[in-house]
Structure formats: C-alpha cells, structure tokens
Amino acid sequence: MSERGKSGKQAAPSGGVFRLIAPEGVDFGGSIRCGLVRAEAGKAGLCLAIGPEHMNLYGIVHGGVLATFMDNTMGMAAMLACPGEKVVTAQLNIHYLQSASGGVLTCQAELIHRAGRTLTLEGHIYAEDGQRLAWGGASFRKVT
C-alpha cells in the first residue's frame, strides 16, 4: 500500500507516480482511496479496501466500483507508458466473473498494444484469496 506522511495524507511516491495516486479527496482517483501496489512503464497495480460505501443493495461490491477501480488501474498503466503526456479512457469493457463482499481487492493492468495515439490495455481484479473477480480491456487516447 502507499506510504502516508505525518499529516495522514499520502506521501509522494518516487518516479512521478504522485499525480497518478492523489491524496484522498484531492481528485476522483483519491476519492475512492486506492493504494499503490505496482508502478512501472506500462504496468500498474492498485489495491482497494472494501467498505460499506462500496456495496450495493445486495451486500456485494457494486459493479460500478469494480469498473472504476479497473479504469483507474488501467489509466495509471497508460500514463506510466506515456510519461508527460495526457491519456484518457476512450472505451472500457469489463466482464464480471464473481461477486465480492469485502476484504482488499487488487487490480493489475498492463499495456498490450500501442498504435499512434491509441493504447490498448487489459486489467484483472482479484479477491484476497486470489479468485479472479473481473477482467476487462480498455482503449486510451493521448490528448493534447
């Protein structure tokens, strides 16, 4: 998980990753409270501790939370593949395999293709016990 400074805010990780994982409440990514697991060129991993605010009416993690979690992780991998450039989600497709009702989830994402201004990524979300909960793909576009 990410390091926290004396103020309780997330300390800036090395390698310029801070802008990708902002402190809680600073931007949308920070508001869902993901922790950094992995960050390297074209690859990223985040974790998410599930709380009551992530649940739907059935007591399982809301599909929108999983989609957001995967989008953020793939977006980070895309940004790490293009340092200094802006990339945005152009398309996101997610396949839900199993439900989750708590614990800490992990998402791993990787760049699988680059052509011009378009990047294609894949992502996988796992429960603490290693069960794959969802997988998906996304296209990201470099913007000016």
Q: Say what the pTM is.
A: 0.81
Hey, which residues does 86 pair with through a beta bridge? 143
Give residue limits of the domains in the chain.
Answer: 17-143
Burial level of 119, CB count in 10 A (0-12/13-18/19+)?
buried
Give me the amino acid identity at 144.
T
Q: Where are the alpha helices (DSSP H) in the chain?
A: 28-31, 63-81
Cα separation values, 133 from 107, 124, 126, 128, Å: 10, 8, 5, 10
Distance between CA 17 and CA 30 in Å, rounded? Answer: 13
Q: Where are the alpha helices (DSSP H) in 47-133?
A: 63-81
20: which 2 tokens?
């990708």
Beta strand extents in 41-131 (DSSP E only): 43-49, 86-96, 104-115, 118-126
Task: Tell me the per-residue pLDDT of 90-99, one tens digit each, with 9 for 90 and over.
Answer: 999 999 999 9
Task: Tell me the per-residue pLDDT of 32-51, one tens digit each, with 9 for 90 and over.
Answer: 778 889 999 999 999 999 99
As assigned by CATH, the class of the 17-143 domain is alpha beta
pLDDT band of 124, cuts 50, 70, 90:
very high
Distance between CA 92 and CA 70 in Å, rounded? Answer: 9
Average pLDDT, the chain: 85
